[in-house]
């Protein structure tokens, strides 16, 4: 770990975080949930909200892909995603759905602003982000695709968008 220049779990918990909370809206696959935990750890995401049917740690299936990230990344469970979003909005978060929808923007078009906090919602693998939750969003980001399939795996989408926000926020912070 020292050769890879990695920090300890204690150092991670005390470190400055990306002002981003990931919301998992009724994710069926525990492997997807674990993968999002691992990505959140990689980019020091502030936390994860697990909602509805999304499984919670401790969980053997989540752990297979999280590889210990459930110990470093803070998380909280909410029975209803809409309640989680309302709570985030009351705390000043900008709410973003990762979804295919009319009026969506591309990752390239999204420009995070230093000093603001963001929540990025990923929906159920079949149904997507709930309509009631979509109605509470400030933005919707859609990852452009040119193949024959109409969607990406939740954990892949999370990796792409968390990286994009991390990269842009880091750049924005350096220019402030």
Output the pTM of the full model: 0.93
Dist. CA 14–CA 58, nearest whole Å = 22
Please report, for the domain that includes residue 111, its CATH number. 3.40.1280.10
Contacts of 62 (CB under 8 A, 6+ apart): 30, 31, 33, 34, 37, 55, 56, 70
Q: Average per-residue pLDDT in the chain?
A: 94
Residue with tokens 């999304």: 54
- State how many domains the chain has: 1
Query: Is position 143 within any domain?
Result: yes
Query: Is position 57 within any domain?
Result: yes
Query: Is position 164 within any domain?
Result: yes
Query: Is position 85 within any domain?
Result: yes
Distances (CA, A) of 149 to 79, 145, 153: 31, 8, 11
Dist. CA 66–CA 44, nearest whole Å = 14
- What pLDDT is stored for residue 33 in this prediction? 98
Convert the pLDDT of each residue in 126-137 to its tens digit.
999 999 999 999
Query: What range does the domain containing 47 cover?
Result: 9-175
Query: Is position 1 within any domain?
Result: no
Dist. CA 54–CA 99, nearest whole Å = 18
Confidence of residue 150 (pLDDT cuts 50, 70, 90): confident
Contacts of 71 (CB under 8 A, 6+ apart): 9
Convert the pLDDT of each residue in 31-77 to its tens digit.
999 999 999 999 999 999 999 999 999 999 999 999 999 999 999 99
Confidence of residue 1 (pLDDT cuts 50, 70, 90): low
Confidence of residue 176 (pLDDT cuts 50, 70, 90): very low
Residue with tokens 């109605």: 135
Nearest Cα neighbor of 19 from 100, 96, 86 is 96
Q: How many C-beta atoms lie closer than 10 Å to residue 42's C-beta?
A: 14
Confidence of residue 24 (pLDDT cuts 50, 70, 90): very high
pLDDT of 170 > 90? The answer is no
Query: Is position 2 within any domain?
Result: no
Nearest Cα neighbor of 165 from 100, 123, 116 is 116
Query: Is position 3 within any domain?
Result: no
Query: Is position 100 within any domain?
Result: yes
């Amino acid at each position: 770990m020292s050769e890879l220049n990695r920090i300890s779990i204690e150092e991670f918990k005390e470190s400055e975080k990306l002002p981003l909370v990931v919301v998992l809206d009724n994710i069926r696959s525990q492997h997807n949930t674990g993968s999002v935990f691992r990505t959140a750890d990689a980019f020091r995401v502030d936390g994860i909200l697990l909602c509805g049917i999304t499984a919670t740690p401790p969980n053997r299936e989540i752990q297979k892909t999280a590889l210990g990230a459930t110990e470093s990344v803070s998380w909280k469970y909410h029975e209803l995603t809409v309640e989680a979003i309302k709570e985030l909005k009351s705390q000043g978060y900008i709410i973003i759905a990762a979804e295919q929808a009319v009026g969506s923007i591309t990752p390239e078009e999204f420009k995070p602003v230093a000093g603001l906090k963001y929540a990025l919602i990923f929906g159920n693998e079949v149904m997507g982000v709930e309509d009631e939750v979509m109605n509470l969003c400030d933005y919707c980001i859609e990852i452009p695709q040119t193949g024959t399939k109409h969607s990406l795996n939740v954990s892949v989408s999370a990796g792409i968008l968390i990286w994009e926000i991390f990269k842009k926020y880091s750049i924005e912070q350096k220019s402030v």
